[in-house]
Amino acid sequence: MPISDSLVVALMYEGPSGSHACSREVVDAWGCETDAAIQAALDNARRLGPWMFDRGPDGLLVSHAGEQLGAALLRFDELLGEVQFRGEPVVMVPDAKLLLVADSADERCIAAMLKLAANCLAGRGLSGTALRRTHEELRRYDPSDASLW
């Protein structure tokens, strides 16, 4: 299920032999809608919390290193709601286990996010697209200072 033009939600489950992606057929066999299955997965993950961000360089918020839910934390609206931003939250998911959050009003924070994301993307990365987080919507971040890119 797409959540932006560069990211999709993948429903996963833990079984005896590890993590597995749930295809549409698996979700249908469970007898539930995809949205309901994703909501149930998020609710289960919330019960495993509390989830928090680490402070990275220049005020960058970084999901905990090695945290399996890194990118999924993007769907936890309450986490970003607890953070005070001068501008809007700008997020990147350079790896499935890594969520980066910067303040759009802080050029040093944005630069730190881009540098860390570039390091992740040098290997086997997920997405190099920065997204602006608004009310229940993700849009491509278009910085006013193009020199940051």
pLDDT in the model for residue 1 = 56
pLDDT in the model for residue 50 = 59
In whole angstroms, what is the distance from residue 43 CA to residue 65 CA?
A: 22
Q: Which residues contact 104 (CB under 8 A, 6 or more apart)?
A: 85, 87, 88, 89, 90, 110, 132, 141, 143
Number of H helices, E strands in the chain: 4, 8
Mind listing the pLDDT tens digit for each residue in 116-148? 888 877 777 677 778 787 666 777 787 764 444
pTM greater than the 0.85 cutoff: no
Distances (CA, A) of 146 to 72, 110, 111: 29, 12, 12
Mind listing the pLDDT tens digit for each residue in 24-82? 888 888 888 877 877 777 777 777 665 667 788 888 888 875 556 666 666 666 666 67
Instruction: Report yes or no: 109 and 102 within 8 Å, Cβ to Cβ.
Output: yes
